[in-house]
Amino acid sequence: MGVTVLTEIEFKVNGLKIQALEWNGGGLPVLALHGWLDNAASFLPLAKYLTNHHLVVLDLPGHGLSDHLPGSAYYHLADNIYLIKSVADAMGWQRFVLLGHSMGSAIAILVAAAMPDRIMAVTLLDGIGPIAYTPVQEVTALRQLLSHAVEEKVGRPFDTLQAAARIRQKYSHFAISQQAAELLVERNLKECDGGLCWRYDERLKLRSSHYYSEEQVRGILSHVECPSLLLSADQGALAGWSGFAQRRAAIPRLIHEVMTGGHHFHIDAPQDVANCLIDFYQTLDWER
């Protein structure tokens, strides 16, 4: 059995502090990437079962305990490629596995296509590439981006963590359990006058200045050369989506399994997800 001590670690990338959680079981190196407005705590339940792996989970910029981008900068998925390369270099990982949930799975796909010599495998949780826009939607997004001023919103403080979790449940794009909501908001809150306020960067809620077309996304997917596993939820983000089959077919070496649950099934049913991941990881050709 591996060592499962949880450690807070910190990286410096382009002047930003990037916070992370680390469990070092001495085995397969796995870098995990959370979803939009989530944070590294998203993988706490799953990590308890990956005891023989060396797991590092990032708070992506603007999320959790990591720094926000400076000035008037905006958040772009592709910027995370350099971030992840820098973290892997700092860890001394020449080859490693990516584990991504939702937005994190989109980032994992971009990294795998850009760094085929470094990525041993990709494991995706209820996500399969970036959101795609049509040309008209892209222009609309650009115009809307410029019409929204970036403000540091403090908002009305929450009296308790549970109250913040209920708001997260109310405004989530996908149904989320009270258990999952409380786990996620704890790392996304900070003390402020009158109670607790959100810690994440408000700019994360703005539209990006760039979206890929569906053709571009499938082209990127087709260049993911490593073994890949997708676990989708039967009540999650991909369920019933008309474009899912074509994206799934675009990845050359993809294994797909459907699991019971919603979008955050890795929090609600971590052992089931971990069993699938461990079975897949055991097929990889990896040397220490």
3-state SS, residue 162? helix
**Token reading at 139:** 């222009």
**What burial letters (b/e) apply to 230-251, b meaning 16+ CB within 10 Å?**
bbbbebbbbeeeeebeebbebb
Q: Which one of 66, 72, 86, 102 is the catalytic residue?
A: 102
Contact between residue 104 and residue 209 where contact means Cβ atoms under 8 Å apart: no
**Token reading at 44:** 């706490």
Rounded to the nearest 10°, the torsion over CA 154, 158, 162, 166 is: -60
Any residues with CB less than 8 A from the CB of 178 and at least 6 apart, and which?
Answer: 165, 166, 169
Give the C-alpha separation, 139 to 148, whole Å: 15
Give the C-alpha separation, 264 to 116, whole Å: 28
H-run or E-run covering 119: strand 119-125
3-state SS, residue 9? strand
Give the C-alpha separation, 124 to 276, whole Å: 11
**102 belongs to the catalytic site:** yes
Give the C-alpha separation, 142 to 184, whole Å: 30
Contact between residue 124 and residue 104 where contact means Cβ atoms under 8 Å apart: no
Q: Which residues are catalytic?
A: 102
